[in-house]
Chain A
Amino acid sequence: MQNKPRIMAARFFLRALLVAIYWVAFCSAVHAADNKPLKVGFIYTGSATDWGWNNAHDLGRQYLESTKRGSVITTRAENIPENSDCERVMEKMVAQGNKVIFATSYGFLEPALRVAKRHPDVRFMHCGRLVPAGSKNVGSYFCSDYYEYLYAAGITAAKMTKSNKIGYVGGHPIPALVWCINAFTLGARSVNPKATVHVVWTNSWEDPALEAEAARGLIERGCDVLLSTLNTSLTVCKVAEKAKVYSIGTNFDLHTLVPSGWLTGQSWNWGPLYVKVVESIQNNTWKPDNLRYGLADGYVVLAPFGKAVPKAVQAQALDAIEKLKQHKRAVFAPPLKDRDGAVRLVKGEPIDTAWLEKMNWFVPGVEGNLPKK
C-alpha cells in the first residue's frame, strides 16, 4: 500500500513527459511546414569515408548540403548490402520524409524500382545502370565515359611498365568494370603493343586482405603496375607501394597517400551534379531520365599525376584526353574485335550506354577470366 503514491507520481511524470514530447513534435512539425526544406537521402554500399566510391558520393552530398543550405537537408545510410536490406532502408528514408533518394550502387537499382512503385511521390536517382523505360519516378545518372580517363591511364601505365605486365584487381565482373578494363588496355596497347593486363576478381567490393593477397599474386606474376576498381584502391596501392611497383587508383584521388609509386587515376566530382538534380526537382523540371555525362561536364576528373611520371608521358596522356574530348579520337573504334576474334563494333554502330552495358568480352591483351551470364 505504501507504494501507491509513488506509482501515482510515476504515472503523472510519464504523462507529463508524453505531453512534452507531443508538444515538441508538434512545434517541430509546424516549424518544418514553414520552411519546407527538401529532404534528400543517400544510400551507400560501403563506408562514407572509404577513400573510394562511397566517399566520392558523400563528398557530393556534403557539397549539396553546403551549397543549398536551408533549402536541402540530407541524410545518409552507409554499409547497406545490395539486397532486400536496401529496400528496408529506402522505406525507412521515405517514412522519414525524404522526397529524393540517391541509390549510389550497382545493385541498388532493383530495390529502388520496387520501392518507387509503392511511393510515387518520391524521386529515386540510381547511379550506374540504365533505368528501364516506363518508370515514372526513377531516373539514373552516370558518366559512362569515365573510361576515357582510364584510356589515358593505360597510356601512362604502358609507358611506365618495364615488364609489360599490368595487374588489375576488380570487385565484381560487371559491365562498368569490363569497359574500364578494355579502355585501359586499348590505351596501353596504343603506345605499347606488348603490354598485357592481368585481371583478378575478388568477388567483393571490400575485403582488404583478399585485395592485398590478389595484388601480391599479380606482383609475383611480374606485374609492375597495379590498377584496381574496388570500394577503394587504397589497399592495392599500399601493397604496390611496399613492393616498389607503380599503382593507379580509381574512384578517388589517393596521390597523397601513395607518395612514390602513384602514377595517376580517375576520381569523381558528384557535388555539382547533385545540386543540378536537386534544383531540377525543386523547380519541377525533373524527368525520369537516364542522365549521362562526358568528360567535358566535369563530374569525372583525372587525378593528379604522381612524381614518378615524366613530363613527356604526362603530356602524351593529356594529349589523348584532349583528342577524346574533341572527338578526334575514340577509345572504342570500329572495327573492334574481342580477344577471341569476334567483331564487336562495326562502322556506324553507336557507342551508347546500351552498347556499353552489354559489354561482356575482353579486347586482345587482357588476360584472365570473364564469367559469362
Chain B
Amino acid sequence: MTDSVPFFVAVASGMIRCATPVLLASVGECLTQRSGVMNLGLEGIMLAGALVAVVVSYFTQNVLLAILAALLVGLVIGFVHGVICIRLQANQVAAGIAMTILLGGITAFFGVNFVGKSIATISAVKIPVLGDIPIVGTIFFNQDPLVYLCYFIVPVVYWLINRTSFGLSLRAVGEDPRAAAAAGIDVQRVRYLCTMLGASLAALGGAYLALVYAQGWVENITAGRGWIAVGLVMFAAWNPWKALIGAYLFGLAISLQLRLQAAGSDVSPYLLGMLPYFLVITAMALSSIMARRKSQSHPAALGIPYAEQT
C-alpha cells in the first residue's frame, strides 16, 4: 500500500471539506436565531443556493459570479422569510418548514434542465507559504477558497455578535425586543438584517455542495445537511465557535468512516455510517450540559414575533 497522502492527513483534510457546507449554514443560523428569529428553511435555502450557483456557473462559467448569485438569492429568501415572520408575524417553525418544502419542489422542477451540465467548479488552491508546512499545511491550507473564507466567517460572526454595538442590539432584540425598542433599537430592521445574512450564508453552503462536491446539480443535493445545521445551532448554544466544533466533528466522522472503509476496515459500514450523528449528538449534549451550569440558554425571544407598540 503506497498512499499518496498519510491516512490521518487525508481524513483531516476530508473533515474540513465535509464540515464546510454545514458550518456555513449553522453559523448563519446562529446569527439569525440570536436576533430572535428561527429559520428552519435552511435545507431549502441551501438547495436554492446550490441550484442558482449551478445555473450562473453554467451560463457564465465564472465561479465568483456563481457564489455572488447564491449569496444574493440567500438574501432574497431571507427577506421573504423576514416578511412572513417579522412583518406578518406568522409561526416561524411552520414558515421555515414550508419554505424548505417549497424550495425543494422549485429547485427540483427547474434543476431538471441543469443535471449533468458542465459548469465551472472550484478547485483547491494552495496558499503559498502556509501550504508548504508539513501536515498542517496540507490539511488546512491546501483547500478551496470557500474553506479559507469559512476560516474568517466564524471569528467575524462571533465578533459581530459579541463585540460590536450592532451585536449588542441584535442580542438585545433576541432577548427582550420590547426593552430593546425602548432603548431606541429598530427591532424589525435588526431582525431583517440577521435573517437575510443568515440565509445568505446557508445559500453559500449550498453553493459549496454544488461547486466543490457534486460539480453540478443533483436533485436533493443537500440530503439533510440543512437540518443538521439547524440541530448544530441549538446544541452549540448559539455560539459560532461551538458550531464550528460541532460541524468539524460531523465532518471528521464522515471523512473517517469513508476512509476507514476505503482502507478495508472490518467494521460494519452501518456502524460507521452512524458515527457522524452519534459523535455530534454526544459532543453537543455534553457541551449543553456544561453550558447549562453557566446558565446559558436560548435567546429568550426566539421564535416569538414582536409586534411594534404604537
Least Cβ–Cβ distance between B181 and chain A, in angstroms: 40
CA distance A216 to B115 in the complex (A): 21
Alpha-carbon distance between A234 and B217 when the two chains are bound, in angstroms: 10
B115 x A208 contact (CB < 8 A)? no
Q: Count chain B CB atoms within 10 A of each CB in A207, A234, A257 and give the residue with the most.
A: A207
**B116 in contact with A200 (CB, 8 Å):** no
Query: Is B32 in the interface zone, CB < 8 Å from A?
Result: no
Total interface residues on B, using CB and 8 Å? 43
Beta-carbon nearest neighbor of A200 in chain B: B261
Q: Assuming the A-B contacts A79-B220, A209-B209, are A371 and B270 also in contact, with contact meaning beta carbons closer than 8 angstroms in the complex?
A: yes
User: Please, how many angstroms separate the alpha-carbon atoms of A206 and B219 in the complex?
Assistant: 9
Q: Which residues of A contact B261 (CB under 8 A)?
A: 199-201, 214, 217, 368-369
B255 interface residue per 8 A CB criterion: yes
Bound Cα distance from A207 to B225, whole angstroms: 10
Contact of B213 among A51, A235, A257 (CB under 8 A): A235
Binds A, one of B14-22, B90-98, B280-288: B14-22
The answer to whether the Cβ of A75 comes within 8 Å of any Cβ in the partner chain is: no
Interface stretch of the complex, out of A218-226, A266-274, A302-310 = A218-226
Interface contact B269-A203, CB-CB below 8 Å: yes
Q: How far is B3's CA from A218's CA once the two chains are assembled, in angstroms?
A: 10
Does the CB pair B220–A206 fall under 8 Å?
Answer: yes
Q: In the complex, A28 Cα to B253 Cα: how many Å?
A: 57
> What 0/1 readout, one digit per residue, does chain A (59-88) give for beta carbons within 8 Å of chain B?
000000000000000000001000000000
Task: Decide if B273 is an interface residue (CB 8 Å cutoff).
Answer: yes
Is A90's beta carbon under 8 Å from chain B? no
Return chain A residues, CB-CB under 8 Å to B123: 242
User: Is B153 part of the contact surface with A, judged by Cβ < 8 Å?
Assistant: no
- Report the nearest B residue to A209, measured CB to CB: B213
Task: Please tell me which one of the listed residues B4, B223, B225, B269 contacts residue A220 in the complex, with CB atoms under 8 A apart.
Answer: B4
The residue from B118, B213, B266 contacting A369, defined by CB atoms under 8 A apart? B266
Q: A198–B262 Cα gap in the complex (Å)?
A: 6
Q: Is the CB of A47 within 8 A of B108?
A: yes
Does A238 sit within 8 A of B, measured CB to CB?
yes
Q: Which B residues lie within 8 Å of A216 (CB)?
A: 14
> Closest CB of chain B to A287's CB: distance in Å?
36
A217 touches B259 (CB 8 A): yes
Residue pair A367, B264 in contact (C-beta under 8 Å): yes
> Is the Cβ of A220 less than 8 Å from the Cβ of B10?
yes
- By a CB distance below 8 angstroms, the chain B residues around A239 are 215
- Which listed residue, B118, B216, B219, B273, touches A49 by the CB 8 Å rule? B219
A55 nearest CB across to chain B (Å): 9
A221 is contacted by which of B3, B21, B270 (Cβ under 8 Å)?
B3
Interface residue? A167 (CB, 8 A): yes
Contacts of B5 in A (CB 8 A): 220
Tell me which of A51, A198, A221 has the highest count of chain B C-beta atoms within 10 A of its own C-beta: A221
Give the interface of B toward A (CB within 8 A). Answer: 1-5, 10, 14, 17-18, 21, 108, 112, 115-116, 118, 121, 123, 209, 213-216, 218-221, 223, 225, 254-255, 258-259, 261-270, 273
Question: Top 3 A-B pairs ranked by shortest CB distance?
Answer: A208-B214, A203-B273, A207-B223
**Additional 11 contacts, C-beta under 8 A, given A209-B223, A242-B215, A371-B270:** A47-B220, A50-B219, A79-B219, A198-B264, A201-B261, A217-B255, A221-B1, A221-B263, A235-B214, A239-B215, A369-B266
